Amino acid sequence: MLNLYNQNERRFLNKICRCSCSVSLIFVFLCFFVSCASSDSDYEAFVDYSNERSVRYEMEQIFSLHVTDPVQALARARNLFDNIVETNNRTENEYAPDLCAEVEELYNDSLTVVQENFSSAVSDSNWVDAIRFYRSLSVFGLAPEGWSEERIKENQINTWKEEGNFTLADLSSVKPSTPEDEAPDSDVISTKIPAVVTIWVDRGLALQRGIGYADIVIGSGFFIDKRGYLVTNYHVIASEVDPDYEGYSRLYIKLADNPDRRIPAKVVGWDPVFDLALVKTEIDPPEIFQLGSSRDLRLGTRIYAIGSPAGLERTLTSGIVSAQGRRLLSLGDVLQIDAPINHGNSGGPIIDEAGRVQAVVFAGIESYEGLNFAIPVEFLKLILPRLYSGGIVSHSWLGAYGRTFTPSSVSDTPGVSAVYCVPGLSLFQAGVPEGAVITAVNGVSVKTLEELQYYLLNEYPGTIVKLSGYLPASDSEDSSVPVENMEWYAVLYARPEKPGAVVIERDLQSRAFLPMFGMKLQRIGSTRQYSVADLIPGAIGDESGFSRNDVVEIRDFQADLKTGVLFTQLYAKRRKSGYMESFIGLGASLDSPSYF
């Protein structure tokens, strides 16, 4: 039985039943283990601003980034400027005048480099980079003269039209859905069914006990572009693009009106996080779908699914939206639907009464009839330009693990608590202290982790954002004293598919316990023993019976990168067990909805 209702971290350890049909009877798992360094050295800040040698080293790093990553260079130069020049202006003779002058010059040079890159991007009609550079300059109030984001987007739309990509050009002009009690016209169904195809991935033979069996993955897809582009699930075509897959794999599609003909196809772009992929064929599609707006959906809205369950083409089923906001993806909520979904429906469209796509089928639970899930079309529209660009889609993140912060005093503001920052990444570089509460990004209020993540989804990696926030007062401090509002400039990195792998690569085992298991460990003496200093409510450590002040000793700590799970074994003395000595094994996913 699959449990999708535990805490967010734990649900990633469960396997959601994919709807793609596979007759493979054997799975071979190659596990690669990496161990985190066992050093327990002190956690240090990114730059020691009180040490001139540290500051000058950072200046050298910034200068070298002018060519390879000018946006990161600008973000780091601004943080250096704020901590050296601005601090020096507020306090007399804290830094040498020549150092302040050099830092200011470096910051101005970094601005110039990004401005030049913006001009080059505009000249090359590279509107994605133009938006990145424009936004990165705008956070400092230095938007390029004569330009606006609206003008850049207009140019981008015109470029799409020139390329014949009217699917992207029309994304901003989606019509609202029809009333939910209006059944689809028979002409709509007969017209749209030919736009749904069967995805057929031939993976050769799978061997079991010396006997070969056909290894076929079957899914659904739907045309969205008259030039032969169609959408499906990533997990259906994963063997086509997964660098770790070493077997045979060939991708075909089958049209509804001629299921015996296999038409070659290729994967253009894919997004493992949202389980979506863009596929291209060299035929003229008989019909295409228009993308709707899932913002119009609500509980009880009638929806319709078209696909090839068990390879049976031209199958239409109906149902309603059973629930919204199911957190089954790392970066977004999905719809729960009760329309009958079976193996082979993966990647098929969920449509409204007008035949417009409202969602994409991606998962279900076999043992529970009518418990199925679909990805809202809003996420597809958001990443579609990046899918067309080709390759794997990268999403932005700040290199942190956090939770929604609920204020306990009137002086605090709702936001997102940066529980943990990955060494060397965005928040760490920007000097955001762990425990700080982020309340706004670029002036836009964020009250929950989900709001912050959705905002970052709309930003490209390699963009500078301005974060606003504060350090909440501790329980021992006077909560009536107003908190000091703070600002930080951070450059967005590309979110890895397994953020936890980056954590254990860059940080100490003991510190990794906080984002991985929700346990903040404090070293006891010089051994590998630790005291549990704090626990995140509902996280793995809390649910496994640990309490504050429990004593643990790390005996094993290994990450299985293939399956995306971290395993650890602890020698523990727990209060809830009467401090009896015992060995405890814990497992955690290397991905989690709590990373941002």
Which residues are known to be catalytic? Answer: 235, 275, 346
- C-alpha torsion sign, points 293, 294, 298, 302: positive
C-beta of residue 566 within 8 angstroms of C-beta of residue 554: no
Pick from 383, 372, 404, 351: nearest CA to 460: 383
Angle 318-322-327 from CA coordinates, rounded to 5°: 125
> Exposure string (b/e) for 128-161, b if CB count within 10 Å is 16 or more?
ebbbbbbbbbbbbeebbeebeeeebeeebbeebe
Question: Phi/psi at 162 (nearest 5 deg)?
Answer: -60, -35
Residue 172 makes CB contacts below 8 A (sequence gap 6+) with: 157
Helix (H) or strand (E) holding 387: helix 377-389
CA atoms of 395 and 201, how far apart (whole Å): 27
Count CB neighbours of 101 within 10 A. Answer: 11
C-beta of residue 500 within 8 angstroms of C-beta of residue 400: no
Q: Which two tokens stand for residue 222?
A: 């739907």
C-beta of residue 321 within 8 angstroms of C-beta of residue 377: no
Q: Coil, helix or strand for 348? A: coil
Q: Coil, helix or strand for 198? A: strand
C-beta of residue 453 within 8 angstroms of C-beta of residue 516: no
CA atoms of 139 and 87, how far apart (whole Å): 20
C-beta of residue 236 within 8 angstroms of C-beta of residue 277: yes
Residue 453 makes CB contacts below 8 A (sequence gap 6+) with: 331, 332, 593, 596
Q: Which two tokens stand for residue 36?
A: 């985190």
CA atoms of 411 and 93, how far apart (whole Å): 34
How many CA atoms are closer than 13 Å to the CA of 332, on its beta-carbon side?
A: 22
